[in-house]
Homo-oligomer: A and B are copies of this chain.
């Protein structure tokens, strides 16, 4: 798969000193994973003819670095204290807690470096892409989401703060992936808005589907700890399975509608959605 091959090339070699750090970085990111975010970024760039595709591949890999960095942190003893991720031991259990934290920062930083070091890309496009990524990661994005998840979520009794949390933890990086693909391709503002809207709905559906799986609990199917949200409010626990499944379907329908209204070639993006959700809901 193109994304995996690119990641393999972009990551420092395992033997590079200090090897423990570089092995941990490679272990975490090359463990598998569906690569939904980079694939979305690349497919958005293809949907208008493929201009900027090379940058979209690099930026997609950068986004996957950022995403993996967040997974390593979420799994730490001081956070979710998880044992399994992507079907094998979490990074801090395979290496050490300190090495896991440093590997996470290493991946985040590598993500930014992959964008700055892209050849043949307009510096203005790189700066815009980095800005989008920083917003999605930052203390008003994923980092805020993780802090709220750890320290506030247990008190939530309504759907609205849970939806906000899902947006911060999942939606923001989905939308950033589509937006960066659109920047790579130089899409016009209304098309940029459309693919962001598409990604927002896909992200919401994805998070809801994830909660449904965690709730139904099949560890072999998803390769990470399940039942971790037990006793923690989620869309599923607050609204029930049926309402969550309905919300998921509604978001997927909205995602389709959004693309249909553009002049983009959306076949690839729609196929991506089918491949993600075909087996999930």
Seen from chain A, the residues whose Cβ lies within 8 Å of a Cβ on chain B are 12, 16-18, 20-22, 25, 73, 76, 78-79, 96-99, 101-102, 104-106, 108-110, 112-113, 116-117, 122-124, 126-127, 130-131, 134-135, 137-140, 143-144, 146-148, 150-152
What separation, in Å, do the CA atoms of A187 and B112 have in the docked complex? 25
Given contacts A78-B97, A123-B124, contact A151 B109 (CB under 8 A): no
**Cβ of A99: which chain B residues have Cβ within 8 Å of it?**
147, 150-151
A146 to chain B, nearest CB (A): 6
What separation, in Å, do the CA atoms of A25 and B148 have in the docked complex? 15
Task: Find A108's partner among B98, B105, B127, B144 (CB 8 Å cutoff).
Answer: B105
**Cβ of A78: which chain B residues have Cβ within 8 Å of it?**
96-98, 101
Task: Find A109's partner among B25, B106, B137, B148 (CB 8 Å cutoff).
Answer: B137
**Cβ of A96: which chain B residues have Cβ within 8 Å of it?**
78, 151
What separation, in Å, do the CA atoms of A137 and B148 have in the docked complex? 27
A145 to chain B, nearest CB (A): 9
Given contacts A102-B143, A150-B98, contact A113 B138 (CB under 8 A): yes
B109 near A146: Cβ-Cβ < 8 Å:
no
Given contacts A137-B109, A147-B99, A147-B102, contact A18 B152 (CB under 8 A): yes
**Cβ of A150: which chain B residues have Cβ within 8 Å of it?**
98-99
* 28 A-B residue pairs with CB within 8 Å: A18-B152, A21-B139, A22-B139, A73-B102, A76-B101, A78-B97, A96-B151, A98-B150, A99-B147, A102-B143, A102-B147, A105-B137, A105-B143, A106-B138, A106-B139, A108-B108, A109-B138, A109-B139, A110-B134, A110-B138, A112-B112, A112-B134, A113-B134, A113-B135, A113-B138, A116-B127, A116-B131, A126-B127
A12 near B98: Cβ-Cβ < 8 Å:
no
B98 near A101: Cβ-Cβ < 8 Å:
no
Task: Find A123's partner among B21, B126, B146 (CB 8 Å cutoff).
Answer: B126
